[in-house]
Amino acid sequence: MESKTIHLILLFIFISPQFHSSYAQTWIRAGYWYASGESPIPDINSALFTHLICGFANVSSSSYQLIIPSADQQYYSSFTEIVKRKNPSIITLLSIWNGQASTAQGILGEKVNSSVLSSMLNQSSSRSSFIESSIQIARRYGFWGIDLFWLWPNTEADMINLGKLLDEWRAAVDSEPRNSSLSKLMLTMAVKYVPSFGSMTYPIESMKKNLDFAHVVAYDYHLPLKENVTGAHAALYNPTSHVNTDYGIRQWLNNSFPASKLVMGLPYHGYAWTLANPNDNGIGAPAAGVAVTQDGSMSYKYIKWYTRSYEAKIMYNASYVVNYCIIGLNWIGFDDVEAIRAKIAYAKEKKLLGYNVFVVTNDDNWALSWAAQDEENAHGKKRRLLLIIFLPITMIIILIASVVCYLQRKLLKTKGKIILRKLYRSESAFTSGSPSLQEFSFSTIKAATNTFSSENLLGEGGFGPVYKGKLRNGQEIAVKRLSKTSTQGLEEFRNEVTLTARLEHVNLVRVLGFCSKKEEKMLIYEYMPNKSLDFYLFDPSTKHFLDWTKRVHVIEGVTQGLLYLQEYSNLTIIHRDLKASNILLDHEMNAKISDFGMAKLFKKDEVEGNTGRIVGTYGYVPPEYVNKGIYSMKYDVYSFGVLLLQMISGRRSTSFYGPNRSLHLLEYAYESWREDKGVEFIDPALDDSSSSCKLLRCLQVALLCVQENPDDRPTMLEVYSMLKSDTEVIPIPTKTAFSGKRDEHMASTSTSQQAVSVNDAQISELLPR
Ligand SMILES: *[C@@H]1O[C@H](CO)[C@@H](O)[C@H](O)[C@H]1NC(C)=O
Ligand SMILES: *[C@@H]1O[C@H](CO)[C@@H](O)[C@H](O)[C@H]1NC(C)=O
Ligand SMILES: *[C@@H]1O[C@H](CO)[C@@H](O)[C@H](O)[C@H]1NC(C)=O
Ligand SMILES: *[C@@H]1O[C@H](CO)[C@@H](O)[C@H](O)[C@H]1NC(C)=O
Ligand SMILES: *[C@@H]1O[C@H](CO)[C@@H](O)[C@H](O)[C@H]1NC(C)=O
Ligand SMILES: *[C@@H]1O[C@H](CO)[C@@H](O)[C@H](O)[C@H]1NC(C)=O
Ligand SMILES: *[C@@H]1O[C@H](CO)[C@@H](O)[C@H](O)[C@H]1NC(C)=O
């Protein structure tokens, strides 16, 4: 009861608007957005931030005025307006940098002796030209502040001149003739993790006076391009060196820079090294250069997708405050939820002003930003609780809180139900004619699954566990239970309910109904006694159950299921997660496609769609989706091709094959086929002599399905006819997707302002998303 009461107080305080807003004002949640069409502005969840910094304007080397690259003007001019939609009180800033090339050099630790900023600072006339144009342009595009992102000043003169610039900039901003409706522009600046380096020290006095805040670039300390040992690139602590955020922050504070003007940088990216020795794989292990991308940089979003696909275990090292994972020889160091939380706790403890993310669009479903906010609230709550305890009106609050809480809960409860019902009802309008979904009561399902006992656990699905159950009438069912913490799962759950209610085909798993009670959400399926395809394909002890004739039957079933989804149902559906574990087998070994959580509904005339969210499973996802988020019916054709390759070879797509184990499944299949060694690829235990469907023919069809260019891939109708006929001439496949240097194309998913060389063309590829 005691703890419940405290909980109620907390809840009340948390939902109380005054408390919340006064609190939010003092703590800065800032983030960079890098102007480009690759990460659409409307996708930014600006409600999670107080400040958004739009980058980057550069400076003319002749006039020292600001230049907004013409291709980016469209983004700058709409930025503030768009991000305000989700958060009317957001403050936007325009960031100025030293030009791409110089910034990249600066990060790599090279001196930039030709810096435009450097020469701008030198003359009072060029400084004022810079200052004037910066104010004008910030106003013209509707920004509320200006940020200087200079990585890094590199002479003592730079530092002295920087001090002068800030004095003049502040004076100009303060005296700007402006409408009374406009507030003064903010001035902020990115700084190195330490205030002094080499013989230089930042102009701290001037910064204190003139800046609204300075944010520490607390990452990119170690880069795989520069160091051949794995490194915690954003280490909060480092027991063996001073290159860490804690050391830097303490230096700033000790140099009398106020904590109330200091903001901590958080990286939403990491770096991948190639380990020299897979058994020596901690922090500081010997490495042999970059991995995965051209410069080793990977966005958090990409890292999460990558680790999920390989089912890699993510480690956390609390003595450095860093997460890392090992996949084969790849060592990836980054900040996951634990590291971010620890850093927020640190920033709170040091009474810093807040945090600043680089870059916001690298988050994975906003997981890091949510974690940061959550940690921040946890700290806020403690403080508020202390306050409350001494207030005489505690009792009244408790009373109000419990009433509010009760009402709130009641509301939530009905709301949850209404949403689901409504959704289900509106959907059933479409499904007239098809059997509608049944709503099961929680007690029915609880009894059927023996209270979700572990003996009844069939497996762990994408968004929660799956249980076997038996209804009182004897019917066997499979129950997919949404894990309570999964918000992503809720979306997928809804998706699955809406879509599957509309689909009916012998080769699709049938959904019998759903169960929804408070936060419990469950989907009830028909039970498939023979498990899923992956159970047979890759296990030497079970693969003989599935001889070639049975496999041909499964292939036919999957083909039919896809044909229905793409051609014959009254909707067009892209499944987007077709893989062996999603092909279930009934008691007659008929294939049934399952799991429509990721599926997308298409209008009949739509050719392709676009999404910012990367879903799917590594190895089954086509390149156009990985690179650009584009999906079309050819997405499933691609996954079907991969599945076909697995069925004829019994090989996984997460391993490497061929001489030196250097080829992934698709490359190995293609190389074998091209060198007329297709039989080496095929599982020798499979015998196609009595089947009209020949293994080598399947190999060729599969290779057509996994071609790089989606337009080159056949439609499912074409696939069907090629597999059916043994005389139809099959085209010659071109090189498969993802071939050549592994993951090279993925360099463009990289993250920080990193560059391989100072070649401009290449750098633009590597800019953050
Ligand atoms: C300014 O930025 C644009 C595009 O980002 C780039 O093409 C140009 O080279 C930059 N100019 C300087 C001086 O760095
Ligand atoms: C940069 O410095 C190096 C060596 O000090 C010099 O050779 C080079 O010309 C300088 N580059 C520019 C653009 O000033
Ligand atoms: C900056 O000014 C100093 C002194 O006036 C001068 O010696 C130096 O050459 C100038 N540097 C540049 C890059 O203009
Ligand atoms: C001030 O704002 C009003 C309307 O918002 C506008 O008409 C006027 O031109 C503005 N004045 C200046 C000096 O910007
Ligand atoms: C902090 O600064 C003082 C002088 O200002 C210096 O004596 C002391 O060593 C510094 N402490 C650290 C931890 O750098
Ligand atoms: C963190 O990593 C270092 C270096 O690999 C290792 O010595 C240390 O034991 C690790 N600490 C924790 C808590 O995992
Ligand atoms: C790291 O090792 C690789 C391979 O041994 C080598 O090509 C690269 O030059 C090395 N990089 C550094 C910074 O030493």
Residue with tokens 């360099």: 747
Peptide bond just before 252 cis, omega within 30 deg = no
CATH number attached to the domain at 397-526: 3.30.200.20
**Could you tell me if the CB of 254 is within 6 A of ligand 5?**
yes
163-187 mean pLDDT: 93
Name which of 152-156, 329-333, 380-384, 749-753 the model is least confident about. 749-753
**Whether pLDDT at 607 is above 70:** no
Q: How far is the CA of 532 from the centre of ligand 1 (A)?
A: 53
Q: What was the pLDDT predicted at 597?
A: 73
598-607 mean pLDDT: 65
Band of residue 616 on the pLDDT scale cut at 50, 70, 90:
low
Band of residue 415 on the pLDDT scale cut at 50, 70, 90:
very low
Q: What was the pLDDT predicted at 735?
A: 83
Q: What was the pLDDT predicted at 577?
A: 85
**Whether pLDDT at 595 is above 90:** no
Q: How far is the CA of 312 from the centre of ligand 6 (A)?
A: 19
Name which of 176-185, 584-593, 640-649, 657-666 the model is least confident about. 657-666
pTM of structure? 0.60
* Segment 733-736 long-range contacts (CB within 8 Å, at least 24 positions apart): 733/670, 733/673, 733/700, 733/703, 733/704, 733/707, 734/707, 734/708, 734/709, 735/670, 735/707, 735/708, 736/666, 736/667, 736/669, 736/670, 736/703, 736/706, 736/707, 736/708
Residue having the nearest C-alpha atom to atom 7 of ligand 3: 122
Most confident segment among 94-108, 148-162, 617-631: 148-162
- Each residue's pLDDT tens digit, 271-304: 999 999 888 999 999 999 998 888 889 999 889 8
258-263 mean pLDDT: 96
Asked if 270 and 334 count as a contact pair (C-beta separation under 8 A), the reply is: yes
**Which atom of ligand 5 is the closest one to the Cα of 250?**
13
User: Given ligand 4 and candidates 139, 179, 180, which is best to mutate, with the most ligand atoms within 8 Å of its CB?
Assistant: 179
Band of residue 318 on the pLDDT scale cut at 50, 70, 90:
very high
Q: What was the pLDDT predicted at 111?
A: 80
610-626 mean pLDDT: 68
- Each residue's pLDDT tens digit, 349-391: 999 999 999 999 999 989 999 999 999 888 876 655 555 554 5
Q: Give residue limits of the domains in the chain.
A: 28-267+338-386, 397-526, 534-724
Name which of 201-210, 369-378, 474-483 the model is least confident about. 474-483
The proportion of the chain whose per-residue pLDDT surpasses 70, expressed as a percent, equals 81
Q: Which of the ligands is closest to the CA of residue 255? A: 5
**Whether pLDDT at 747 is above 60:** no
User: Given ligand 3 and candidates 61, 116, 122, which is best to mutate, with the most ligand atoms within 8 Å of its CB?
Assistant: 122
Q: Exposure pattern of 87-113 as b/e (b: 16+ CB <10 Å)? A: beebbbbbbbbbbbbbbbbbbbeeebe
What is the distance between the alpha carbons of residues 623 and 605, in angstroms, rounded to a whole number? Answer: 23
**Which atom of ligand 4 is the closest one to the Cα of 180?**
1
Q: What was the pLDDT predicted at 603?
A: 59
**Which atom of ligand 6 is the closest one to the Cα of 283?**
5
Q: What was the pLDDT predicted at 749?
A: 34
Residue 462 tokens read as: 């994408």
Indicate the angle between helix axes 633-649 and 716-724, nearest 10 degrees.
30
Band of residue 114 on the pLDDT scale cut at 50, 70, 90:
low
CA-atom Rg of the chain in angstroms: 29
- Each residue's pLDDT tens digit, 37-65: 678 898 899 999 999 999 999 999 999 99
Most confident segment among 183-187, 526-530, 585-589, 746-750: 183-187
Q: What was the pLDDT predicted at 8?
A: 41
Residue from 524, 518, 509 nearest 440 by CA:
524
So which residues are the catalytic ones? 577
593-605 mean pLDDT: 72
Query: What class, spelled out in words, does domain 28-267+338-386 have in CATH?
Result: alpha beta
**Could you tell me if the CB of 436 is within 6 A of ligand 7?**
no
What is the distance between the alpha carbons of residues 193 and 237, in angstroms, rounded to a whole number? Answer: 12
- Each residue's pLDDT tens digit, 716-741: 989 998 988 878 888 889 888 876 54
Q: What was the pLDDT predicted at 489?
A: 64
Most confident segment among 94-103, 231-240, 271-280, 746-755: 231-240
In terms of CATH architecture, what is 534-724?
Answer: Orthogonal Bundle (1.10)
Whole-number average pLDDT of the chain: 82
230-240 mean pLDDT: 96
Q: What was the pLDDT predicted at 23?
A: 38
- Each residue's pLDDT tens digit, 53-108: 999 999 999 999 999 988 889 899 999 999 999 999 999 999 999 888 888 888 88
**Could you tell me if the CB of 317 is within 6 A of ligand 6?**
yes
Q: What was the pLDDT predicted at 76?
A: 94
